[in-house]
A and B are shown apart, each in its own frame.
Chain A
Amino acid sequence: MLVLVMRRAGMALPTLFGVTLIIYLLLSILPGDPLAGLLPQDATEADRAHLASSLGLDRALPVRYVMWLDDVVRGDFGYSQFRRREVAELISVAWRNTASLAVYSATFGLLTGVALGTLAGVYRGSRVDRFVTGFAIVGLSVPSFWVAILLLILFSAQLKVLPAGGLATFEHGAGNYFAHLLMPVLSGSMVSIAITARVSRASIVETFHAEFVDTLRAKGLREWQVLAHVAKNAASPVLTTAGLQVGFLLGGSVLIETIFSWPGLGQLVFNAIAARDLPVVQATTMVIASTFVLLNLGVDLIQMIFDPRLKRGA
């Protein structure tokens, strides 16, 4: 068992490595002069050459990649000329904000999705089922940024009950805190609810209406005990999709954070792209992607614990 865990964890390493490689290659083709804005107007060729060599920009690409990787592993994400701060500092602040939004969105999305999907699956064919299925297809077709704008129109522009953006900390009142969270969470989790509902429904339909359930009932188990058995069996696809959903949320955070002026990683990377702030873009993309890899690793490991079939052959 431990061997399988180590093996699965080990698979994450080359993936992480590949992720850093892709990011570095991608951003090395970014057009524009990396030295722009770092030198005064009257800088001579010699000055430029000197700065370039001190930043290591005159070395070959593979060498630069290894140098960058070496820095990153040590926690040195570079320095942002644009924001005049250490990149690591910018990321640590933004990371907390994105994480809180992602956790709320993921929790809300997954719980609602599982609840709706389970209802639809258990009462298959009923009006509830038809409603949930219809809602799911609407939810996964709708652009999250449009939902955000519709919510803004309704709650901020028309009814004027919710603030249009920004972040509020818990110390300044719980009501205010949640008021700022409500619309970003709702718009960000819409697709999660839809996909999770669909997957849960399919999974429940497969297990709840399977033969082993009749056997359990025939054995004399009470309905809630049957449900517990069903839940354990139905959990696997839902867990897998949960990991993917969080990834989707992390990616979609760029849109939601931009619309609601939420100072997170999404907004950070977006502004950095606009400003051609290379170190920030590299580091932020890497942090988000690495989180995704580690999260999926976690999901896979949890699944291995719960599903004995996976324990036997990874």
Chain B
Amino acid sequence: MTIANPVSSAAARWAAGDAPARPESYLQASRRRFLHNRVGLGALAVLSALIAMSLLAPLLTSYDPAIGAATARLRPIGAPGHLLGTDEQGRDMLTRILYGGRMSLIAGLTPVALATVIGTALGSLSGFLGRWVAAVIMRTMDMFYAFPAVLLAIAISASLGPGLVNQIIALTIIYIAPIARVAEAATRRIVVSEFIEAARLSGASTSRIILTQVLANIFSPIFVYASGLVGLAIVTAASLSFLGLGVRPPTPEWGFMLNALRGAIYMNPWVAALPGLFIFLTSISFNMLADTIRDSLDVRE
């Protein structure tokens, strides 16, 4: 009796289309979970539409967002030639909403992106090097934590003056501390694991270990946390603009527009509420998307 050759029998099974598939990787599993989540997909669709509308603003509308007609003030929604009405200076609302989206999105996304980079660097260094480096960095972060975030943003923004760049700086500063905390905690969990020991023993330098091993592994919780911050950042950026600490007029921006239209609530309430609706839609889409990403990545924090 001949012993069946395992290699040729496996090959025969493969030829017959019967071979077992490779197990799903973590990323593949995450993507599958994400694509099956209808809420997340819906949020992604809404968000893509909003971003696309803002980017394509010049193609979608022929009005100038900064110039208005004094005779056409506060026209209602659906007025001829003005799909979403006009504002208190006679400027077309649809145009201002579309162009304003750019500023609002930039003011919300950029600070989170910058704070993630800086916060991750600070946090991972603290978690990895430990002792007095960690003490100095994390105690400094604690001092920023002692402020209500919005208040600190207002104080920083007020010190630097109005304008988009200063607004972004202020928001970046307030988000560095929470991200650094998340990064530090995640790094400390990773640092005690064996493959870091192995890397150390094989002679890799500190910076190399951090860049290759640590960052890849702490990426997931930080990404989840940062994506959760985006919705909040958009609302906070709009709050600063609402208080006049953001872009200067006549550049449109949703928060600023909402404040400017405050006086109009008696005459044309729907138009007055419009910018706020878009802030809300953007924020809730980002929040739902972040929740879905977190559930897909199955991160247990």
A and B held together in a complex: yes
A310 and B296 alpha carbons, distance in the complex (Å): 33
What 0/1 pattern do residues 204 to 218 of A give for CB contact below 8 A with B?
000000000000000
A26 within 8 A of B: yes
Assess whether B262 is interfacial by the CB under 8 Å rule: yes
Q: Are B279 and A143 in contact (CB under 8 A)?
A: yes
**Docked-complex contact A157 and B269, CB < 8 angstroms:** yes
Say which one of A48-56, A170-178, A247-255 lies at the interface with B: A247-255
Q: Is the interface of B mostly helix, strand, loop or mixed?
A: helix
Distance (whole angstroms) from the CB of B281 to the closest CB of chain A:
9
- The answer to whether B151 and A254 touch across the interface, beta carbons within 8 angstroms, is yes
Chain A: interface size category? 35 or more
A241 located at the interface, meaning its Cβ lies under 8 Å from any Cβ of chain B in the complex: no
Q: Flag if B155 contacts A146 (CB, 8 Å).
A: no
Cβ-neighbour of B258 out of A18, A149, A270, A285 (below 8 A):
A149
Could you tell me if B283 and A248 are in contact, using CB atoms closer than 8 angstroms? no
Q: How far is the CA of A26 from the CA of B160 in the complex (A)?
A: 9
B81 to chain A, nearest CB (A): 25
User: A249-279, CB under 8 A of B: which get 1 and which 0?
Assistant: 0111011001100000000011001100000
User: Given that A149-B265, A153-B265 are contacting pairs, would A26 and B156 also be in contact in the complex, using a CB cutoff of 8 Å?
Assistant: yes
Name A250's contact: one of B148, B231, B243 (CB within 8 Å): B148
Inter-subunit contact A254/B154 (CB<8 Å)? yes
Closest to A288 in B: B151
Known interface pairs A27-B155, A30-B159, A252-B150; A146-B284 also in contact (CB < 8 Å): no
In the complex, A68 has a CB within 8 A of chain B: no
**Interface-side segment among A85-93, A115-123, A133-141, A228-236:** A133-141
Given contacts A19-B146, A289-B148, contact A143 B159 (CB under 8 A): no
Residue contact B148 to A258, C-beta cutoff 8 Å: no
Interface check A65, CB cutoff 8 A: no
Most buried by B among A15, A149, A270, A274: A149
A37 at interface by CB-CB < 8 Å = no
**Any B CB within 8 A of the CB of A158:** yes
Contact at A15–B273, with CB atoms within 8 Å?
A: no
Instruction: Give the one of A14, A146, A158, A259 with max B CB within 10 A.
Output: A146
A134 to B: closest C-beta gap in Å: 10
Within 8 A of A (CB), among B67-90: none
Partner pick for B284 among A15, A137, A149, A247, CB 8 A cutoff? A137
Given contacts A137-B288, A140-B287, A149-B276, contact A293 B146 (CB under 8 A): yes
Does A292 reach chain B (CB closer than 8 Å)? Answer: yes
User: B151 touches which one: A152, A158, A250, A274 (CB < 8 A)?
Assistant: A250
| B276 neighbours in A (Cβ, 8 Å) | 143, 145-146, 149-150
Known: A153-B265, A157-B266. A141 touches B148 (CB 8 A): no
Taking CB atoms, residues of chain A closer than 8 Å to B255 are 143
**Given A251, A255, A281, which contacts B149 in the complex, CB threshold below 8 Å?**
A251
Q: How far is the CA of A179 from the CA of B75 in the complex (A)?
A: 32
Distance in angstroms from B295 CB to nearest chain A CB is: 13
Task: Indicate if A60 sits at the interface (CB-CB under 8 A).
Answer: no
Stretch from B17-25, B93-101, B123-131, B234-242 at the A interface: B234-242
Q: Which of B52-60, B137-145, B204-212 contacts A (4 or more CB under 8 A)?
A: B137-145
| B3 vs chain A, min Cβ distance (A) | 52
Known: A14-B139, A15-B142, A26-B156. Contact between A149 and B273, CB under 8 A?
A: yes
Identify which of residues 168-201 in chain B touch chain A, using a CB-to-CB cut-off of 8 Å: none
Known pairs A14-B139, A153-B272, A273-B158; A145 contacts B242 (CB<8 A): yes
Chain A residue at minimum C-beta to C-beta distance from B156? A26
Q: Could you say which residues of chain A place their CB within 8 Å of the CB of B140? A: 18
B269 partner residues in chain A, CB cutoff 8 A:
153, 157-158
Q: How far is the CB of B247 from chain A (nearest CB, A)?
A: 17
Is A285 a contact of B155 with CB atoms below 8 Å? yes
State whether the Cβ of A31 lies closer than 8 Å to any Cβ in chain B.
Answer: yes
Contact with B along A144-171 (1 / 0, CB 8 A): 0110011011001110000000000000
| B binding-site residues for A, Cβ under 8 Å | 139-140, 142-144, 146-152, 154-156, 158-161, 231-232, 235, 238-239, 242-244, 255, 258, 262, 265-266, 269, 272-273, 276-277, 279-280, 283-284, 286-288, 291
- Chain A residues at the B interface, C-beta cutoff of 8 Å: 14-16, 18-19, 21-23, 26-27, 29-31, 137-138, 140-143, 145-146, 149-150, 152-153, 156-158, 247-248, 250-252, 254-255, 258-259, 269-270, 273-274, 281, 285, 288-289, 292-293, 296
What are 30 contact pairs spanning A and B, CB under 8 A? Answer: A18-B140, A18-B142, A18-B146, A22-B143, A29-B160, A30-B158, A137-B284, A140-B287, A141-B284, A141-B287, A142-B235, A143-B238, A145-B276, A146-B273, A149-B272, A153-B265, A153-B273, A248-B148, A251-B149, A251-B152, A252-B150, A254-B150, A255-B242, A269-B154, A281-B158, A285-B151, A288-B148, A289-B148, A289-B151, A292-B146
Besides the contacts A22-B144, A288-B151, what 19 more A-B pairs have beta carbons closer than 8 Å? A15-B146, A18-B146, A23-B155, A27-B159, A137-B287, A140-B287, A142-B280, A142-B284, A149-B258, A251-B151, A254-B151, A255-B150, A255-B243, A258-B243, A269-B154, A281-B155, A285-B155, A289-B151, A292-B148
Of all A-B residue pairs in the complex, the 8 with the closest CB atoms, nearest first, are: A251-B148, A146-B276, A18-B143, A251-B150, A141-B284, A251-B151, A247-B148, A141-B283
